[in-house]
Structure 1
Amino acid sequence: MKKIIVFASGSGTNAEKIIKHFSKTEIAKVVSVFTNNASAKVIERAKNHQIPVEIFSKNDLLERNVLQKVAEIDPDLIILAGFLLKFPENIIERYPNKIINIHPALLPNYGGKGMYGMHIHRAIINNKEKETGISIHYVNEHYDEGAIIFQANVALTDEDTPETVAEKIHELEQKHFPEIIEQLLKE
């Protein structure tokens, strides 16, 4: 069975959806959740599913401590599901094309440093976009610039607000992220 590590910084709804999805398959299992936020709700979600959690500091991430813990697990895939720190090059180099991220916009638009969550949704509304979506992509050394694996879009109306955009994006993430991870693991 293949091993997945999930990195998350916040509520962990996507992480939990991935955990639940793979608990019903023989393809892979989420074996650990890593977080840089000691008060993140993802910790409780992971523990509810008996998934071990590693809590680390930004210094741990930069000083190879996290790389060492990841290497001990030797995952087949590393998933960034709402992980807000820039992913370190030492892990990217060790696991090329085995780290994927989900981004709440249609890249290359609305990507880069500082472009996450409601910042993106507000920018999309302010720019009067007619559609938005999600991008699942490989992680490289630059924010949101890795090769795109999958995109799904959703139409917007003049009545949409950043909050309704967030809801639409969340639905796309919950539907597609586990399926795309499964497809990658089968390849």
Structure 2
Amino acid sequence: MSDETKKSTKKIVIFASGSGTNAENIINYFQNSKNIEVVAVLSNRRSAGALKKAHHLNVRPLLFDKEALYYSHEVLNVLRDIDPDLIVLAGFLWLMPTSILEEFPEKIINIHPALLPKYGGKGMYGERVHKAVIENNEKKSGITIHYVNPVYDEGQVIFQETVLIEENETPESLAAKIHQLEYKHFPEVIQQLLEDKK
């Protein structure tokens, strides 16, 4: 790969805490792209499926702990070395430290499985969100992709897509619908953001 090609290739770093289905989907989406590449997947959990999926897909997997993220700047230094064009939080459950937010302004995005500002905040993730949505008799739910700021789920909204909630909806059936929205739209929004960054 020439230096010119390297320079023009947009780099994505993914943070994930869980099974890594969104991370895997994003990696696969850009696998054949000539100018966008997922270069690393970082996780705070040794057992995270995201790290295994990254390894299988030939993307650098990196495990870190609270010390490395919040106190020693180890994660910040890794990110400085990579110099990503976009940092994508895909089911990452820790708050991003101010040091990283300041180093990469408008370059960190997150996906949330509800229509923010409703059903966001600390502890609101996965099935907890879907359960709350159904218990409150909402007629619709969806996904929100937003920029990350120092408060959980309060950054500027980039994109939302909705799905209707059926009468007999369960948290599991709603989760399945939300996953489909995530798989379809998250890579497309990432691509759009990177293509807009000249």
Residues 1:101 and 2:124 are matched in the alignment = no
SS of equivalent residue, structure 1 residue 115: coil
Report % sequence identity: 54
Equivalenced residue count is: 187
CA distance in 2, matches of 1:134, 1:52: 28
Alignment-derived partner of residue 165 in structure 1:
174
Higher-Rg structure is: 2
Determine the structure 1 residue equivalent to 2:36: 28
Instruction: Give, in whole Å, the separation in 2 of the partners of 1:72 and 1:153.
Output: 38
Q: Distance in 1 between matches of 2:122 and 2:35?
A: 34
Looking at structure 2, the residues matched to 27 and 177 of structure 1 have their Cα atoms a distance apart, in angstroms, of: 18
| Offset of residue 166 of structure 1 | 0.5
Distance in 1, matches of 2:96 and 2:48, equals 18
- Give 1:26 shift: 1.5
Residue 153 of structure 1 corresponds to 162
1:27–1:185 CA contact under 8 A, matched in 2: no
Runs of at least 5 residues in structure 1 that lack an aligned partner in the other structure: none
Displaced runs of 4 or more, over 3 A: none
2:63 aligned with 1:55: yes
Give the whole-Å Cα distance in 1 for the aligned partners of 2:100 and 2:25: 24
Match of 2:75 among 62, 66, 72: 66
Structure 2 counterpart of 1:38, one-letter code: R
1:109-150 deviation digits (Å, cap 9, x = unpaired): 001111110110110011011000000000001100100000
Deviation, structure 1 residue 27: 2.5
Structure 2, unaligned stretches of length 5 or more?
Answer: 1-8
Contact 1:46–1:53 (CA under 8 A) maintained in structure 2? yes
Structure 1 counterpart of 2:152, one-letter code: Y
Which of the numbers 79, 84, 106 marks the counterpart of 1:75? 84
Residue 97 (structure 2) pairs with residue 88 (structure 1): yes
Q: Distance in 1 between matches of 2:101 and 2:35?
A: 23
What is the TM-score normalised by the length of structure 1?
Answer: 0.99
* TM-score normalised by structure 2 residue count: 0.93
- Verify the 8 A CA contact 1:6 1:32 in the aligned structure 2: yes
